[in-house]
Structure 1
Amino acid sequence: MTFIEIAEKLAVSTSTVRLCISKYKQGGVDAVLFDIQRSGRPAEITCDALQ
């Protein structure tokens, strides 16, 4: 499937598809599902709230 076909099927932008595929190529499924820690404003949702 092309990026456009995937984006249409999932109702997301092609840039989102490209980003996910790029993350997958770099680090596998975990890289796509879990964001790495970045500098910047702290998260408003605690880790406990996510579980």
Structure 2
Amino acid sequence: MFFKIFLSTYHVPILQPFGLSRTTHLVMHVYHFFSNYYHWVTSTLLQLDQT
């Protein structure tokens, strides 16, 4: 499960055109990571709450 999140987080920014500035690239990178992490945490908490 974690590796799926890891791959979905990191393959998107890597495939972006290198014309982007490093700052924009870094912001997108961090945004993808935290959005995926947030979804993973909330889904895990929902699963625990249902039991």
TM-score higher than 0.5: no
For normalisation by structure 1, the TM-score amounts to 0.34
Q: TM-score, normalised by structure 2?
A: 0.34
| Structure having the larger proportion of residues in helix | 2
